[in-house]
């Protein structure tokens, strides 16, 4: 009896089971409400009267995020090798984030999240993104009511890379182009949703582009667009360009290393035996 050769197909460290899908759907729904309530609530809604309390109310997202992580890990039967890889990647991402802090959006952690989510799948990607942002906040002292929004947005960002097509077939330059394009667009998407988390609470700073509870939806959309262009376009563009450049330069060797580590860890591969001829 000899062990069968391990398959070359990509092995995903965390697979989304029923409970994980339900928890992820719940936290995503609450997250959409937390990010988009200024556009979802009508002008006469009583929610607008509590606008300044919203960051603390939606900080409860952190509890749901922890529940998603716990449900995902418990359902997947996460082994020590997968936990070790999660810890290494999260620590690496957390260490990369402060490198460009305060410098025109130069955030190298995003390219690592894209490549990791691509190789290790959407379930691992969501867990990795949220855990990395949490570890980064502890490292930099950036813990506050905004942290749950950052964790959720980064979880979505990394999970999206795992949902891209051709995970088992697409390789080489075509795959790098796909990942670079996703990283470019997703970097702007991340910046936009994070703007939504803070935009309603800066009315005292710039009334012309701030959220107005009494304004109709088209007016607030125009104000939000002006806010994004005035405050974060440069940061989002820097983040997007850095992600593209690092993906193009380091993508091939890092993808190979992640896939090699995943195959060797064989997180989900069952141990089978084949009879050998006597």
* Residue 7 burial (CB count, 10 A): 10
Better-predicted residue by pLDDT, 61 or 229: 229
> Does the pLDDT of residue 253 top 90, yes or no?
yes
* Residue 266 burial (CB count, 10 A): 15
Question: Residue 254 corresponds to which tokens in the numbers above?
Answer: 């890092």
Question: Residue 19 corresponds to which tokens in the numbers above?
Answer: 């409970």
pLDDT of residue 8: 44
Average pLDDT of the segment spanning 206-223:
79
> Does the pLDDT of residue 9 top 80, yes or no?
no
pLDDT of residue 144: 73
The three-class DSSP label of residue 238 is helix
3-state helix, strand, coil in the chain (%, to 5): 70, 0, 25
User: 97-133: per-residue pLDDT in tens?
Assistant: 877 655 556 788 899 999 999 998 888 888 889 889 8
pLDDT of residue 96: 85
Task: Tally the C-alpha atoms within 13 A of residue 13's C-alpha that lie toward its C-beta.
Answer: 31
9 vs 11: CA distance, rounded Å: 6
Q: Say what percent of the chain tops pLDDT 90.
A: 19
- Whole-prediction pTM: 0.79
- Choose the weakest-confidence range: 97-106, 235-244, 248-257: 97-106
112 vs 103: CA distance, rounded Å: 19
Average pLDDT of the segment spanning 49-78:
62
Average pLDDT of the segment spanning 39-52:
56
Instruction: Compute the mean pLDDT over every residue in the chain, rounded to the nearest whole number.
Output: 77
* Residue 4 burial (CB count, 10 A): 12
- Choose the weakest-confidence range: 147-156, 206-215, 220-229, 231-240: 206-215
105 vs 237: CA distance, rounded Å: 8
Distance of alpha carbon 62 from the chain centroid: 14
Better-predicted residue by pLDDT, 156 or 67: 156
Work out the pLDDT band at 241, boundaries 50, 70, 90: very high
User: 71-94: per-residue pLDDT in tens?
Assistant: 666 666 556 777 788 888 988 988
Better-predicted residue by pLDDT, 61 or 109: 109
The three-class DSSP label of residue 2 is strand
Terminal CA-CA length for the chain: 10
pLDDT of residue 45: 55
User: 172-201: per-residue pLDDT in tens?
Assistant: 899 999 999 999 999 999 999 988 887 777
Work out the pLDDT band at 167, boundaries 50, 70, 90: confident
pLDDT of residue 262: 80
């Amino acid at each position: 009896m000899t062990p069968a050769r391990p398959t070359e197909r990509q092995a995903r460290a965390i697979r989304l089971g029923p409970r994980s899908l339900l928890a992820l759907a719940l936290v995503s729904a609450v997250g959409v409400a937390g990010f988009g309530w200024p556009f979802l609530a009508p002008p006469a809604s009583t929610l607008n009267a509590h606008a300044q309390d919203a960051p603390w109310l939606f900080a409860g997202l952190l509890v749901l995020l922890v529940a998603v992580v716990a449900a995902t890990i418990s359902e997947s039967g996460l082994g020590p090798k997968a936990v070790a890889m999660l810890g290494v990647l999260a620590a690496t991402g957390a260490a990369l984030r402060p490198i460009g802090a305060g410098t025109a959006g130069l955030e190298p952690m995003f390219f690592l999240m894209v490549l990791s989510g691509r190789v290790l799948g959407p379930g691992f990607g969501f867990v990795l993104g949220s855990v990395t942002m949490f570890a980064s906040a502890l490292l930099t002292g950036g813990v506050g009511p905004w942290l749950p929004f950052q964790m959720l947005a980064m979880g979505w960002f990394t999970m999206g890379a795992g949902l891209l097509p051709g995970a088992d077939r697409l390789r080489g330059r075509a795959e790098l182009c796909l990942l670079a394009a996703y990283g470019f667009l997703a970097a702007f998407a991340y910046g936009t949703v994070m703007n939504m988390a803070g935009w309603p609470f800066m009315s005292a700073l710039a009334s012309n582009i701030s959220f107005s509870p009494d304004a109709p939806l088209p007016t607030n959309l125009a104000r939000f667009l002006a806010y994004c262009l005035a405050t974060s376009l440069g940061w989002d563009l820097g983040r997007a360009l850095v992600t593209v450049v690092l993906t193009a330069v380091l993508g091939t060797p890092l993808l190979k290393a992640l896939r090699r580590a995943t195959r060797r860890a064989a997180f989900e591969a069952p141990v089978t035996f084949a009879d050998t001829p006597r």
